[in-house]
Structure 1
Amino acid sequence: MAIRINNVQLDINEDISLLKAKAAKKLRIKEASISDLKIIKESIDARKKNSIKFNYCIDICCENEKNLVYKLKDKDIRFEEEGYKEEIQFGSKKLAHRPVVIGLGPAGLFSALLLAKNGYRPIVFERGEDVDNRTKTVEKFWTTGELNTESNVQFGEGGAGAFSDGKLTTRIKDTRCDLVLEALVKAGAPEEIIYMGKPHVGTDILKTVVKNIREEIKALGGEIHFSSKLEKVIAKNGKVNSIIVNSNEIPCSQLILAIGHSSRDTYEMLNGIGMFMEPKPFAIGVRVEHPQDLINRNQYGEYANHPRLKAAEYRLTHTAESTKRPVYSFCMCPGGVVVGAASEENRLVVNGMSYHARDNKNANSALVVGVGPEDFEGNSPLSAMNFQRHYEELAYKVGGGNYKAPVQKISDFMEDRITKKLDSVIPTVTPGYEFKDLRECLPSYVVQSLKEGLDNFDRKIKGFGASGEGIMIGIETRTSAPVRITRNENLESISIGGVYPTGEGAGFAGGIVSAAVDGLKVAENIIKEYSPII
């Protein structure tokens, strides 16, 4: 049993090796008495710009632990809470067929990994390419504007998260999060993600990580097939009976649907066979780019370039008075780039991406406005998806085609004028950009909400809004899935038994870690009901 100590602080110029001495002082024991120390969480306290501190939660082992905790009666000192324990209880039913996983993003990857570890030999079908070939395909799109609708920023090994910042921050309170982070570290992610307050991997490292997990799944008896698209789910007596993949019918009795938030043709197929789903609120807006140095100076003051500090982040929220809609930053990428993220022809969408070093000149973030069922036309379960498509088509036309993004300086956007020339911030967006009026590809209430939000954010970060040199890039629409595929208490579709919708694409997650955790949950439900394959 270990002792957990919260609020152990280091000044910005104090070395991390001093943690043991700080812990000993807090426990009123000699430093030599501590036999082991593990960092559980590290965060930065930058509320006082002239006195930035690192705050730690640590676990230590020493003699007389129980007596120490009871004697000190300090709210920051307690016994370690139990973490996630992988206690598998196998079901007794016999599987008619090997379980099938559709999609190799975080939800599919981790559901397949857990099944493979426990002897269920899953078969995975991913419509996109393996991460190495996918990278070549994506880079060709960014260079030439030649889009592959089956393998792109949205589809392929690693899912949409493979071409993002690789952020691992999550708001869910689930002990499975620890299991996910540990698996990522085992597969090659930096060990610091275990304890960092806002961990991220970076797209460069994440590609290797997902490849290593894929190889582990295969080594444990799983199969993985790329360029393999789910075309139909066939049900019999209310349960899945088989699936069609690349025109081939495959027997299937347990189907995990980890399709991602952009598989629109798959949503249409599922809706066509009567799978119950409903439109889900999401957000739409733009990407903004600012000098990373502006963000660093705002967050860290005189310590902006201190070697202990990495590129600074921000999180901004506001409720527009005129529209009563939330306006907020999302998926902020310090030291990153903006990339074309289209998955359908003649429809344009952008996203943000960072490499692990986060050392590029610009910071970028989505700046988005909440939209809901009242904004969508018709009563179709796919009305939110069609809303996305409509504005992506407008953005493609406004940009002039070939997936060039419309760009406008924030100061010009606020004054309803087209940008003529740039200042210091040069757009990083690929495959390219054109100076255009973003009002032409966004709903009027989104435009008004963004203007009010930018006014507010400029007061929080001077130079963020019209007073600075930031730019806006259109458009951002893939903040989350536009549908939720309803499921029961066993995490199965309420329409077709044996089908387990999971992750972002099913509307039950919002990021890499939460999607991976949801994938683990559906795999656990299969394990609880069925016995392993011999």
Structure 2
Amino acid sequence: MIRISGLSLPLGKNEKFLWDKAAELLGIPVQSIRSLTIAKKSVDARKKNNVHFTYSVDIEIDNTSQEARFVGHKGPCTITIPTPYRYELPRVSGSLPHRPVVVGTGPAGLFAALILAQCGLSPLVVERGMDVETRQKDVERFRTTSLFHPGSNVQFGEGGAGTFSDGKLTTGIKDPRCRKVLEEFVSAGAPEEILYLAKPHIGTDLLVSIVKKLRESIVRLGGEVLFDTKLTGLSLENGKLCAVQLTQEGQHKTIVTDSLILAIGHSARDTFEMLHQAGLPMEQKAFSAGVRIEHLQKCINQSQYGKFASHPALGAADYKLSVRLPNGRGVYTFCMCPGGEVVAAASEKGGVCVNGMSRYRRDGVNANSALLVDVRPTDFPSSHPLAGVQFQRQMERAAYTLGGGNYHAPAQLVGDFLGQKASTVLGSVEPTYRPGVRLCRLDACLPEFTSQSIRQALPLLDGRLKGFAAQDAVLTGVETRSSSPVRMIRDQTGQSPIRGIYPCGEGAGYAGGIMSAAVDGIRCAEYLISNQLTF
């Protein structure tokens, strides 16, 4: 097999023509190509007068012994020998003395539990929130009635915070386990295109059933999943874990275990506090905070694709922007949701925070993205390990008050924000946040350095994406949960100094997004097996 990278096709051209282009490049009859598989597909929009698709394809030819002679081809396309990838489960010899416990069913917890189950170790999986179907109803009820459920919301419940996002699977990590994650998603019902798209995504509407199927796989393989069940205590002996305390519907029980994967997510603040009081070593970690910015999706399409903006083969355009300011702060867009909506992401009473989500088709009227500023431990109010949580909470409570005290979110037009005056009327962009927004000045709920940095950055970012700082683009606050403000210490064995505890995923400070969290879940399962079982 050889891989040809850099093949291009015009928009709307049938992908069957890749066979002809590959044959032409190799100088062989198309009939000599035995198979062709798309390895990667991306949009090349660098030249607005020539927007097209670029492909990498894996092909086999009839005379496989001749494939190597094409390697090293010089030209716009490159030819290499691809390295096949197949995830190998950790070798398990013997059995664990006690059942492993996984806390959390976000990407990290789900994939940690899945690997343990696939290895025959029957994990007990604990989730403080509800199953994904119940959770979906609770989230919709909150968005339509402002009735907040502290245990079942955008942050808590099966699938974690990522379920109510765009389901973006792009990542900066190069870990080969990413392929395992993608394959498991496809097995659970995700479209096969995520295996080769340069910017794969699933969409909130599809994630609901996919998450359920991943859970069903864990159970089918011998695992057990408990919902509405919270980790409320640790029992330690000589610096080692010996049991965990759980609370379910007011009932307390102790589970004897010496292996615990903590995949609690970035919003389990009461669990952070319990773990800190129990002596789990943790430290402050930088995060980011800011607002959501909304534009009309058609304007983003125009800026990114020019005359091709309405081409049906392209769909909704995305963007990724960043700038480093003279004050040393970084300002950047994050979790951009084409054709999506801004969602209510509170996990505590009396607080407002926002996130973004898209459905698979990304066919909404608006585009939205987080617009964030670096927040450093030196900005925190104290040296306490959980001071970053306090910093987040202050912003969220201020946003709750500014929004009217009914979970409406404070919002302001970009032009008014730059002009430092309260907004009183909307323009062409209708905010998508529900239960609703209250027009105001966002400075009242943002730290001064955040407001100043966003004001400085907006014109600069507009220079990189025309229309980004449009007068009637809408800013909605506050976005505080882009990542965890805490890191739980772990060593090269994956364990906390309290042996048997494996801090994992985004909440523990070791991931940022669905893919990296899922990969860290797999890695922590491997750590656990390696440390607990002898081969």
TM-score range, shorter chain: over 0.9
Map 1:2-401; keep pairs closer than 5 Å: 2-71=1-70, 73-74=72-73, 76-91=78-93, 94-246=95-247, 247-321=252-326, 323-401=327-405
Aligned residues: 527
d(CA) in 2 for partners of 1:220 and 1:518? 21
Q: Does the CA contact (< 8 Å) of 2:410 and 2:476 recur in 1?
A: yes
d(CA) in 2 for partners of 1:80 and 1:41? 12
Q: CA RMSD in A?
A: 1.3
TM-score scaled by length of structure 1: 0.97
Counterpart of 1:450 in structure 2 is: 454
d(CA) in 1 for partners of 2:446 and 2:528? 43
Residue type of the alignment partner of 1:58: V
Q: Secondary structure at the match of 1:455?
A: helix
Q: Deviations over 1:166-191 (max 9, x none)?
A: 00000000110001001001100011
Counterpart of 1:502 in structure 2 is: 504
Counterpart of 1:471 in structure 2 is: 474
Residue type of the alignment partner of 1:113: L
Q: Deviations over 1:405-426 (max 9, x none)?
A: 0010000001111111111101
d(CA) in 1 for partners of 2:495 and 2:26? 49
Q: Does the CA contact (< 8 Å) of 1:84 and 1:176 recur in 2?
A: no
Structure 1 residues 288 and 238, CA, compared in 2 at 3 Å: closer, same or farther?
Answer: same
d(CA) in 1 for partners of 2:14 and 2:476? 41
TM-score scaled by length of structure 2: 0.97
Deviation at residue 99 of structure 1 after TM alignment: 0.6
Q: Deviations over 1:459-507 (max 9, x none)?
A: 2222221x4420100100001011010101110112x100011110110
Residue type of the alignment partner of 2:30: E
d(CA) in 2 for partners of 1:13 and 1:223? 47
Q: Deviations over 1:79-133 (max 9, x none)?
A: 11132431522255x4221111000000110111111111100010100000000
d(CA) in 1 for partners of 2:89 and 2:113? 17
Residue type of the alignment partner of 1:414: L
d(CA) in 1 for partners of 2:320 and 2:451? 20
2:414 is the counterpart of 1:410: yes
Q: Secondary structure at the match of 1:171?
A: coil
Counterpart of 1:488 in structure 2 is: 491
Residue type of the alignment partner of 1:514: S
Residue type of the alignment partner of 2:82: E
Q: Deviations over 1:18-77 (max 9, x none)?
A: 111111112211111111111111011111111111111111111333433325631611
Residue type of the alignment partner of 2:496: S
Q: Secondary structure at the match of 2:507?
A: helix
Runs of 5+ unmatched residues, structure 1: none
d(CA) in 1 for partners of 2:378 and 2:71? 56
Map 1:421-440; keep pairs closer than 5 Å: 421-440=425-444
Q: Secondary structure at the match of 2:147?
A: coil
Structure 1 residues 72 and 153, CA, compared in 2 at 3 Å: closer, same or farther?
Answer: closer
d(CA) in 1 for partners of 2:90 and 2:263? 22
Q: Deviations over 1:360-402 (max 9, x none)?
A: 1000000010010110111111011111111111111111111
d(CA) in 1 for partners of 2:98 and 2:38? 44
Q: Secondary structure at the match of 2:150?
A: coil
Residue type of the alignment partner of 2:367: A
Q: Does the CA contact (< 8 Å) of 1:91 and 1:527 recur in 2?
A: no
d(CA) in 2 for partners of 1:242 and 1:72? 56
Runs of 5+ unmatched residues, structure 2: none
Segments ≥4 residues shifted beyond 4 Å: none
Deviation at residue 13 of structure 1 after TM alignment: 3.5
Q: Secondary structure at the match of 2:333?
A: strand
d(CA) in 2 for partners of 1:277 and 1:531? 27
Structure 1 residues 299 and 275, CA, compared in 2 at 3 Å: closer, same or farther?
Answer: same
Q: Does the CA contact (< 8 Å) of 1:91 and 1:529 recur in 2?
A: no
Q: Deviations over 1:237-273 (max 9, x none)?
A: 1111111111211111110100001000000001101
Q: Does the CA contact (< 8 Å) of 2:413 and 2:471 recur in 1?
A: no
Counterpart of 2:516 in structure 1 is: 514
Deviation at residue 457 of structure 1 after TM alignment: 1.6
Percent identity over the alignment is 50
Structure 1 residues 138 and 80, CA, compared in 2 at 3 Å: closer, same or farther?
Answer: same
Q: Does the CA contact (< 8 Å) of 2:128 and 2:151 recur in 1?
A: yes
Q: Does the CA contact (< 8 Å) of 2:267 and 2:481 recur in 1?
A: yes
Q: Does the CA contact (< 8 Å) of 2:295 and 2:368 recur in 1?
A: yes
Structure 1 residues 14 and 249, CA, compared in 2 at 3 Å: closer, same or farther?
Answer: same
Q: Does the CA contact (< 8 Å) of 2:135 and 2:157 recur in 1?
A: yes
Q: Does the CA contact (< 8 Å) of 2:493 and 2:531 recur in 1?
A: no
Residue type of the alignment partner of 2:100: P
